[in-house]
Amino acid sequence: MNNLLVIPSIDIKDGKTVRIVRGIPELNCGAYGNDPVEMAKIWRAENAKCLHVVDFDGAHDNSQKNFHIIRDICSSVIIPVEFSGGIRSLEHAKEVVDLGVSRITISTMAIENKKEFEKVFNHFGPKKIVISMDVVENELIVRGRSCKTGISPFDFAKEMKEFGVERFIVTDILRNGMMTGPNLDLSRKIAEISKARVTLSGGVRNKDELMDIKNLIPFGVDSVIIGRALYENRFPCQKLWRVAENGIFS
C-alpha cells in the first residue's frame, strides 16, 4: 500500500457544521457555511474518497436530533460515510447503520459496557466497527471527550485487537483543532503494539505533515482525518486526495 487516505471530517452540533478545538465544538466554519450536507457535497466535489461525520449532540446527550442530517449526507454523496457519535447499544448502532453509514466508531461502550459492545461487534463484524481512542497525555477519555478513564491507550489497543478489532482512530485531543502538528509517535506506537490499522486524527496543518504520516504506512498508519486545515484551505485540494487502495475502507 503506497497511498495515504485523506478523510475530511464534518463535525455537527445543533444541526450545524462546527470546528473542534481540543475536543470542544466552538467555532463555525466561516466561508464554507454551516450546512453539513452542503459541506459533504463540497468535499465530494473536491474528490474526497470518504467522509468522517461526528455527531456531538449524540456523543454528549445520546440525542438523535441530527439523524436526518446524517441520512441526507449519506444519500447526497456516493462515497462511504463513517459515523461517530455516542453509540451506546446494539439497537442504537442498527439505527445509525440504517441511516446509510458505511462504518461506525465506538469508544465509551467498549470501555464501560463490554457486554453490549460484544453484541454490536458480533452483529456487524470488524469491517463495520472501528474503535475510536481519544487520548490526553497517554490516557483514554470517553463520554464525548469529557471523562478521564485512567486507562492506557496502548493496553486498551492490545485488548481490543485480541477481541478482533482491526482498526483504530487515534486522536490526540490536545492537538485536535490546534494546528500544532500531528502526534506521529502516538499513532505509530498504537499501530505497532496492536498490529492493527490506524487512522490518525488531530493537528495536521499542511502537505508536509501528510508526507510525514505517509511514512508511517509501513507501520500500519494508513489514513488521516483532517478538519480545520481543510476548512481553512491549507492544501491545494485537487492535489491533496490520494486514491484509496482496495480494502482500505472495508
CATH for 5-240 (3.40.47.10, 1.20.950.20, 3.30.1360.70, 3.20.20.70): 3.20.20.70
Q: Which of 55, 134, 172, 222 is catalytic?
A: 134
For the question of residue 98 being annotated catalytic, the response is no
Q: Is 14 marked active-site?
A: no
User: In the prediction, which pLDDT does 148 show?
Assistant: 87
CA distances from 197 to 1, 97, 153, 202, 219 (A): 12, 22, 15, 17, 8
Q: Cell numbers at residue 243, please?
A: 486514491
Mean pLDDT by 10 residues, the chain (250 residues): 85 82 52 80 90 87 89 96 93 96 95 96 97 92 78 96 96 74 95 97 89 95 91 70 52
Q: Is 160 exposed, middle or buried (0-12, 13-18, 19+ CB in 10 A)?
A: buried
Q: How distant is the alpha carbon of residue 35 from its chain centre?
A: 19
Note the pTM of the prediction, 2 decimals: 0.89
11, 55, 172, 222: the active-site residue: 11
Show contacts of 24-30: CB within 8 Å, 24+ apart: 24/145, 25/56, 29/231, 30/231, 30/232
**d(C-alpha 20, C-alpha 29), whole Å:** 10
**pLDDT number for residue 237:** 58
Q: Which SS3 state, helix, strand or coil, does residue 169 take? A: strand
User: 42: Cβ–Cβ under 8 A, 6 or more apart, which residues?
Assistant: 32
